[in-house]
Structure 1
Amino acid sequence: MSELNESTPPATRGTASSSDGVASNHVAVVKGNNNSPNIFIRFIRAVFGYRKTSLTLFVILTIAFTILLSYIDNNLDLTVSLPTDRLEVDILDSSWLDLQNIAKHEHTYGSHANDRVHDYLQTRIRDIIKEKSYIEYENDLNGDNKILFKSASGEQTTISYYESNNLLVRINGTDKNLPALLLSAHYDSVPSSFGVTDDGMGIASLLGVLSYFSDKSTQRPKRTVIFNFNNDEEFGLYGATAFLSHPWFEQIKYFLNLEGTGAGGKAILFRGTDFGIVKYFKNVRYPYATSIFQEGFNNHLIHSETDYKIYKEMGGLRGLDLAFYKPRDIYHTASDSIKNNNIKSLWHMLSNSIDFSKFVAGQVIDLDNESADESEKSSQDFASYASFLNYFFSVPVSTLIVVNTSLLVLVPLISLALLLIIFKYKKTWQVTTVNVLKFPLAAIASGVVMNLLVSDGFQKLNQYLPTTYPLLLVYTSVAILLLLFYVFLNGINLLFRSQKVLNHDEKLIVIIEISLFYWIALVYISRSLSYNRIGNDHTGEFPITILFIVQSVAAFLGLLGWSFTTPQTTDEEASQPLLEGNQESYGTEDPDDLTPQSSLLGDEDGFKGLVKYLGYDWSLQFLIIVPLTSLIVYNSGWLVLDGVNKSIQESLAAENLIYKIIQLFAFFWVLPYLPFVFKLNRIIVWGLTLFAASGVVLISFLEPFNIANPLKLRFIQKVDLTQSEQDSIVQVFGREGIFYDILADIPSVKESKVSVACENIVDGNQVCSYKSTLQPEIIPGAKDFRDYLQIEIVEDSSSRLPYGLLYGEIIIKAPENRMCNLQFDKKASHSGRDKFKDSPAKTVIVFADEPKNVSSVAHNTRMLPEGFSRDEDGNYLFKDVAGIDNLYLNKLDWKKNFRIGIQWLPNIIDSPDDEINKLGISIECFWADMTPVDGGKESSSAIPAYRELLHYSPNYVSWANRDRGLFSVSTHVQV
């Protein structure tokens, strides 16, 4: 639509356009000297009048406000203060020293450094609790806590044997009738990491909380508090699982688990079992939380787990998961070290742990008195929650459903009533098909173009850029989306300008249509919440309720205005193109830019009339919708993207998900601005164009990885003893097509002139391998790789008839080793069919240190019940008639051999006679020590091939382990 020209009568020039405000309103102009408004009135007009300059100011301030507040909320230094209380200062200092000592070396379960961390913690615990008669310490090294348990993964059934060396502390409360609170963290790291945030800070925080409760100035808690400093979380959540078998576990009802699924920043509450326990997180001084992450974990979008899973699903406890969540590209790498973290991060986790445990342990809470039925009902009630600027908000899903249902009914009823008044009685608002359809059509067209641009443009142009510059992609997408909507909406106006009508208020139409979009989304969310469950969780979507409320309130104000207005016949501009014409007024220099308008409720002169009736419903609508919606969307989108953007290095599926998140982030952030896009200033339009063009250029040329945001690769060195040439092969795993040149440039590769062979594997990943001349030096005096792994077949099936269960027994000799995996063969027969619909292995036996009556154990298990059992000689047995695919072994004694018995069914179909009885077993044992076992210098390396990659890789590369160790030796036997 064209701008008004100079011949436009003063009564109409500069009037708030009918497309974007209540165009039919009239207000009396306040008279001053010479019948002109005073300076204050002119200022109010200039700022709040619905004009391009005013809207531009509002938009710029809102975007700045959004980004600034989100930055403050998520910034550790701006929202967390170090302690000033003398006790807390001392506790933090000692906890930081503990962390420095814990993270001195890589200390995975399969390393000798793990034992040193265990011993250090034992010394510290005993020192902290000395002379406290009501505090007990127990060490699982007494040998009583060994477990054999089943864990199913997809179609695979795995049985795990584990020997625990958890360190346990119990502070006995004054009220023995109250259920206990568990505080838990794990002290092992992965082989490639110093484990500062995963989970050294959790362990240091436990020591800090223990120090707090042990201090003479602290009152003894009413509730018993139990600490589990557990081991071997990283490769099976073993320490937490073992604790379920400990007698102290029976006392516990609540838990707080401290973890690290990233490395640094603030510790976030990202999971809670139910609202009943989540609500108490409001009592911590620096709450930082979002149930968006809870939804991601519960729906398995994040491919890692914590001990929370064990305590909730296997233990039936109620509690919280508090963890560091970013950045993922240095998570599980050598960069998870002291130098990349700071004491304030530790204090954030430690202070919240002290506050939560002090509150829950210090009094009776409502959950203590629940009946069994009430407890069961409450446990089913998921919680939606969030924090902002250290304010914590939570709501049970049941309440959220009631609120949503009420809104879904009341908002349409009120809106329909007002529309009935407007169209049937007032007949002041003219709505055409074009005005109704143009926003949905523009949204569809813009969405299609944006999807093509991001998925077929940005993603192919610079595939891995989100790992370093996720917000650049978001900002560029937002600028392009705004321009697309601007072009489509105003283009439609130009095409159908001949059908222009008076009083059509395009702004309000868009507000109502966006409100309808949120209404549909709220219907879906509310229905999903009614059936909320793990795997289909929607607790992170509660912000849609708030967005729907603000959008509906703005729509209600607009409809209310039209229901009180009177008809007019002045032909005012509806929705002029933003770049057309030159009659736009700026500032307060045009005293006549506002025409007399009618109020929402009647006519009134003077200053009161100006303030009350200036027809500035647009500013109310803008202030109601845009700042809050923009902040919620931006902060939520930033949290999600900041939590998952690094996982683009994990799989193609994760990559596609991240680009979808970028598109959704941009779309929802743009959405609140769209009702006002008609009135954007030409300066902001040209600014958006320049920003979008600059963004595309940067996206095209920026490097996706740098020192702060490295490329993450995974390492393992393997030897297969079944091969004629027993070479050690280095395997490196990562995303396809991005790291071959790095390996080809490694000195030992170039000097030995070996080739690097790469193979694409599942989901956009790649493994590159090369024969390494740098051999491990883990076992002192080892002459060749057979010294690392020897299998002695104690008993096989060769002399048995193929009827009933067969039995075999092996001894695994792997010096200086704690971890071995067994996989029982399940391969295609000669006819091409599977030999078994389930695994042939039905029973596994892990013999005690000095087995007795071996033959009776081996041959008298027919009446053994399914599941785990232990015989009178201390042997561990697990029977599963459906079949066992894998057996994972974990032991504490470095010198002890594994002695394993297996029972299986013969294969009498499609097998050669000499193979009917045989069971094939693949055995792989892992080593993870970074320094030689014989106590060599710390500068020497037990796995030089790994150290070489650390030393010679570009500075934008970080290294993590691929499996339970950094070096493995495997073989295959038949029994």
Structure 2
Amino acid sequence: MARFSNPLAFTPLPVIVVTTLTYVALFTALLVVHLTVPPVPSSVPDGVSLTTAWSHLQAITRQFHPYNTHANDEVHDYLLHSVKNTLKTNGVGYDSVPGAVDLSLDEILDSSESRVLLFDDQVSNVTFSNGETSVYFEGANIMVLIRGSEGTEKVLSDASSGKGGVLVNAHYDSVSTGFGATDDGVGVVTILQLLSHFTTGKSWPKRNIILLLNNGEEDFLNGARAFMRHPVSQLAHTFLNLEGAGAGGRAMMFRSTDAEVTKYYKKASHPYGTVVTADGFKRRLIRSETDYVVFNGLLGLRGLDVAFSEPRARYHTGEDSARETSMKSIWHMLSAALATVSGLASDTSSTFDGTGEPASDGKVDAGKGSQAVWFDLFGKAFVILRLNTMFALCVTLLVVAPLALIAVTVILSKVDKMYLFARKQYVHSADDNDAVEVNGWRGVFRFPIAFVVATAAVIGLAYLILRTNPYIAYSSPFAIWTMMLSAWFSVAWFILRGADAMRPSALHRLYSLIWLFSGGFIVLVFVTISARNFDLASGYFMLIYFAATFLSVLIGYFELFALPKKSVFVSSFDDGTSHIDSESTSRPLTGGASRISEDRPLLRDDDTDTETTSLLRNDRQSFARYGTRRESVSEGHTQDSEQPKQEFGKQYADEQAWSGSLPSWLWILQFLLLAPMVIILVGQIGLVLTAGLYQTTADGSSALLVYLSIAILSALILTPLGPFLHRFTYHVPVFIFLVCIGTLIYNLCAFPFSREHRLKVYFQQQTDCESGSNSVSLIGLDQYVQQIVRQVPSAARQALNCTTSDIAIRKELTKCSWKGPQAHPMSLTFGNRTYVDSWLNFNVTKTVGKNQARFHVVGQNTRACKVIFNTPITSLEVEGGALDSRFPAVGQNGSSEVRLWHRDWSKAWNFDVEWGGEFREPFSGRVICLWSDANDFSIAALSEVRHYMPIWSIATKVADGLLEGSKSFSV
């Protein structure tokens, strides 16, 4: 039991206990933060009522309410009434400002003395282009302006004064297949609570606050663009966008424009997020977009994007309902919004005021900020620094760290204690026939070999899962994580422990740290280049990883100062006799104990132990004896000439005799420097990436990216164990290996979808209003979408037509079509026309002698239509459409499609187009109208699919309209 006398010694029991407890504790803490939501506090700020917020959420999510439904109008009216009622309850007078689009901002503000202005915008419209699509949209936004208390009345009304306000945005429309509780009902009720809070006396803001409830985000971010057409949009300089892409959970800060605005989010009671998600948007790893890109990219504001993120399987489905979220989730978003908006609205500095010069591109002059790096720590603390600061720290470390180690190496060499890479030393001079083996080289290449093999093993598992059961991560991401972590650990331990059993080395720990330092140096170089040239901040963890590794290596170097000088160690073998070339005077192979001359072959100049020396040598320690100490030199019973004459302390097992002088406790300091922050930072990134990617395979994204990300991050998380792993006895690794086998079998064999993690498939019905034929389509993963369609009665009696999806963003998926039941989007009509023929009417009049035409389009019981052109148009003018130089109606390469949105029902669009090409060539295409109301069962095919599809699947919309009715034209 002597080996456990020091509870901090670098021996198996302390190493196993400390490392295991550290990893288990930190993994548990990370999972708790990731999977749970903080509780609601017993007291909330003035004006805030979570009970009222929950009541609002239930009210606005009773039905599907996309822009193109009557339920959307009901939600609009409910919200408008709620805003008025909140102001009345708080005793705040307000003025309702109708229209106002044609007025200047100063004219609007000067027209009222009220501290609150309410805008129910039923006038704004916008025409813009997005790629090869042109859009005309009529907005129905609700805006509330709370005038700030800072400054004079003139300052409050002067848009050019520089006293920019704070915009808070959420959209109240849902998708046609979702109730919109998380996307974006929680954001909407948060804005209502912000209104209540900031219109109480004690909480009145110093800066202006614009609360925007926009309508039409789900379709081309139309509502935010319509807001840009309103004069009050020029009053804001900063913004907070509230969004949702899941169901419940914590609200994460996804994106930020700069460090200056992000610092206010730091004041949230439970901050949550990492800059990795922002880089994911930059690299297009996340396909969906939010109003953030409009407010920042088009309007020029500086702000934040805060959103719920998982589970993505419920995003845009019927499971995005109030029962799938909670009051705790509301509070998490609301508390973050309160802290952020309060900070921004109380900042009266000129940070966000810009230069005061009018911008030529029509953007707000909000100044420029610094690129930011941010991440939270266990949802309690929030770290933020500028990207330039991170770059400077990276460069400093890349220069200082190697120089410092070189300096210490020189000092160690000067004092004759540089045992690293030392092989042999002569007692007297190089003329000696025999030499004493120092064995400083032993263990040099173990860690990189173990790292490469273990990492290759988990990458191999990634490809194995991809070929065998590629979508298992959709429902079981933590089974993948467990498999990868346990596989890497098991393989690395087997290699490192096996090498140590055969050729024990006291320098293995330091060599491993040196390899980590060298690899980290290379990676940090790439991180530094990425930060400087591409504004990518995701490598922030490598800065801390490298710094911790450097300090750990430095400690290892300082440990060497405790060793005897090499000359002193070697001289201890001098027996005072002449040195002749004979076996009787040969030096022992190592400074370890010698038993008999047969166990220790004579050492000559050519008898050097290296990493390539055969492992089948005499007197090697077996696994069975691991953890026991061999007799030291002082304990041996050999002749004096076969052992050092001086005691250097007890070395561990058969490690080098000089190693007995090494401190036995500094390993804990190295481990605690290296492991915890790496586990926290890389573990957090791993969980965030997993949450964002593991269910994107249903959208057509690559499953390989998911598995490779987990494999590589598993290796990064476990590499801090490398220097200490050889001290583990077989008990823990055997258990972990069994876990690896169990999770591997599960991941290979389990069905990838379940009731809790349903596969999303994309629905649409298309009807030819001229022939009356219709086609129902489901788009999804090839193997599974066909299983789903076979369960639908109307499809079971037909031959399926399954092809690659013709929708660009779903081109990786399979589209299965069949003739389904007829839809009834409008009341039956009587007359000579067929029912489907009456769904839409249009007229196209071509101008004589020109490539110009005027379209008249009207759809019944809808306010959304579109026209597809076989020849791209080069000009578009919509009757009643506003002109805005910020929004070109047609892109540089023309438009092949025009999408039309009215705020009124069954109202006609009149618009003129021009196109290029020969005058005599026919101009043709299709006129299509859309219906999106799934509340009244008018789309029977969708109701049938929902009723009969397997429990492990769920339907969502593939486009703006669940039902499309079309007619062709040619002029």
CA offsets, 1:387-410, max 9 Å, x none? 433211100101111111111111
Q: Which runs of 5+ in 2 are unaligned?
A: 94-113, 151-155, 358-364, 422-439, 571-589, 594-608, 630-634, 636-645, 652-660
- 1:510 partnered with 2:512: yes
- 1:460 partnered with 2:460: no
**Deviation of 1:791 (Å):** 2.1
**Deviation of 1:738 (Å):** 1.1
CA offsets, 1:640-660, max 9 Å, x none? 112221112122x43121111
Q: Post-superposition, which runs of at least 4 consecutive aligned residues in structure 1 deviate over 6 A? A: 573-579, 595-600
Secondary structure at the counterpart of residue 218 of structure 1:
helix
- 1:60 partnered with 2:39: no
- 1:727 partnered with 2:773: yes
Secondary structure at the counterpart of residue 947 of structure 2:
helix
**Deviation of 1:136 (Å):** 3.5
**Deviation of 1:271 (Å):** 0.6
Distance 2:744 2:812 in 1: 25
Q: Structure 1 residues 160, 760: CA separation in 2 closer, same or farther (over 3 Å shift)?
A: closer
Distance 1:87 1:63 in 2: 42
Moved more, 320-329 or 58-67: 58-67
Structure 2 match to 1:815: 860
**Deviation of 1:469 (Å):** 1.1
Structure 2 match to 1:888: 899
Q: Structure 1 residues 342, 579: CA separation in 2 closer, same or farther (over 3 Å shift)?
A: farther
Structure 2 match to 1:571: 591
- 1:192 partnered with 2:192: no
Distance 1:313 1:886 in 2: 24
Q: Structure 1 residues 408, 355: CA separation in 2 closer, same or farther (over 3 Å shift)?
A: same
Q: How does 1:513-528 map to 2 (within 5 A)?
A: 513-528=515-530
Aligned match for 2:383, one of 393, 399, 405: 393
Distance 1:352 1:318 in 2: 17
CA offsets, 1:47-94, max 9 Å, x none? 3221222222123212211212102322444x3433424845x52111
Distance 1:400 1:116 in 2: 50
Structure 1 match to 2:270: 286
Aligned match for 1:739, one of 785, 789, 794: 785
Distance 1:763 1:896 in 2: 34
Structure 1 match to 2:537: 539
Aligned match for 2:696, one of 647, 650, 653: 647
Instruction: Give yes or no for contact 1:442–1:489 (8 Å, CA) kept in 2.
Output: yes
- 1:471 partnered with 2:471: no
Aligned match for 2:843, one of 788, 792, 803: 792
- 1:213 partnered with 2:198: yes
Structure 1 match to 2:83: 125
**Deviation of 1:757 (Å):** 2.2
Instruction: Give yes or no for contact 2:352–2:367 (8 Å, CA) kept in 1.
Output: no
Structure 2 match to 1:381: 371
CA offsets, 1:405-431, max 9 Å, x none? 111111101111122233454244142
Structure 2 match to 1:553: 551
Q: How does 1:440-455 map to 2 (within 5 A)?
A: 440-455=448-463
Distance 2:791 2:946 in 1: 13
Aligned match for 2:206, one of 205, 222, 225: 222
Structure 1 match to 2:722: 674
Distance 1:376 1:102 in 2: 34
Aligned match for 2:961, one of 948, 953, 965: 965
Aligned match for 1:953, one of 949, 956, 959: 949
**Deviation of 1:689 (Å):** 1.8
Moved more, 886-895 or 103-112: 886-895
Instruction: Give yes or no for contact 2:280–2:286 (8 Å, CA) kept in 1.
Output: yes
Distance 1:219 1:382 in 2: 29
**Deviation of 1:881 (Å):** 6.5
The code of the aligned residue for 1:445 comes to V
The code of the aligned residue for 1:184 comes to N
**Deviation of 1:222 (Å):** 1.1
Structure 2 match to 1:113: 71
The code of the aligned residue for 1:218 comes to K
Structure 2 match to 1:769: 817
> Higher RCO, 1 or 2 (CA under 8 Å, sep at least 6)?
1
**Deviation of 1:540 (Å):** 2.3
Structure 2 match to 1:921: 925
Q: Could you tell me the TM-score, scaled by structure 1's length?
A: 0.81
Aligned match for 2:58, one of 80, 100, 105: 100
- 1:635 partnered with 2:684: yes
**Deviation of 1:807 (Å):** 1.1
RMSD (Å), alpha carbons? 3.1
Structure 2 match to 1:136: 116
Q: Structure 1 residues 880, 549: CA separation in 2 closer, same or farther (over 3 Å shift)?
A: closer
Q: How does 1:799-878 map to 2 (within 5 A)?
A: 799-800=848-849, 805-826=850-871, 839=872, 841-848=873-880, 868=884, 878=889
**Deviation of 1:944 (Å):** 1.8
Q: Structure 1 residues 684, 547: CA separation in 2 closer, same or farther (over 3 Å shift)?
A: same
Q: Structure 1 residues 76, 691: CA separation in 2 closer, same or farther (over 3 Å shift)?
A: closer
Q: Structure 1 residues 746, 436: CA separation in 2 closer, same or farther (over 3 Å shift)?
A: same
Instruction: Give yes or no for contact 2:759–2:953 (8 Å, CA) kept in 1.
Output: yes
- 1:748 partnered with 2:794: yes
The code of the aligned residue for 2:18 comes to F
- 1:81 partnered with 2:40: yes
Q: Structure 1 residues 877, 956: CA separation in 2 closer, same or farther (over 3 Å shift)?
A: closer
Instruction: Give yes or no for contact 1:290–1:387 (8 Å, CA) kept in 2.
Output: no
The code of the aligned residue for 1:666 comes to S
Distance 1:973 1:764 in 2: 31
CA offsets, 1:894-953, max 9 Å, x none? 021112211112337xxxxxxx33212222221011244xxxxxxxx1112111222222
Distance 1:122 1:340 in 2: 26
Distance 1:561 1:87 in 2: 58
**Deviation of 1:489 (Å):** 3.8
Secondary structure at the counterpart of residue 738 of structure 1:
helix
Instruction: Give yes or no for contact 2:238–2:303 (8 Å, CA) kept in 1.
Output: yes
Distance 2:557 2:186 in 1: 55
Paired positions, count: 841
Moved more, 258-267 or 327-336: 258-267
Secondary structure at the counterpart of residue 335 of structure 1:
coil
Secondary structure at the counterpart of residue 917 of structure 2:
coil
**Deviation of 1:378 (Å):** 4.3
**Deviation of 1:503 (Å):** 6.2
Q: Which runs of 5+ in 1 are unaligned?
A: 1-9, 15-41, 587-591, 601-611, 827-838, 852-866, 871-875, 909-915, 933-940
Instruction: Give yes or no for contact 2:459–2:712 (8 Å, CA) kept in 1.
Output: no
Q: Could you tell me the TM-score, scaled by structure 2's length?
A: 0.82
Instruction: Give yes or no for contact 2:924–2:970 (8 Å, CA) kept in 1.
Output: yes
Secondary structure at the counterpart of residue 539 of structure 1:
coil
Distance 1:930 1:61 in 2: 52
Distance 1:847 1:599 in 2: 93
The code of the aligned residue for 2:551 comes to V
Structure 2 match to 1:562: 560
Secondary structure at the counterpart of residue 681 of structure 1:
coil
CA offsets, 1:93-122, max 9 Å, x none? 111111111111000001110000001011
Structure 2 match to 1:660: 708
Aligned match for 1:584, one of 622, 627, 631: 627
Q: Structure 1 residues 894, 617: CA separation in 2 closer, same or farther (over 3 Å shift)?
A: same
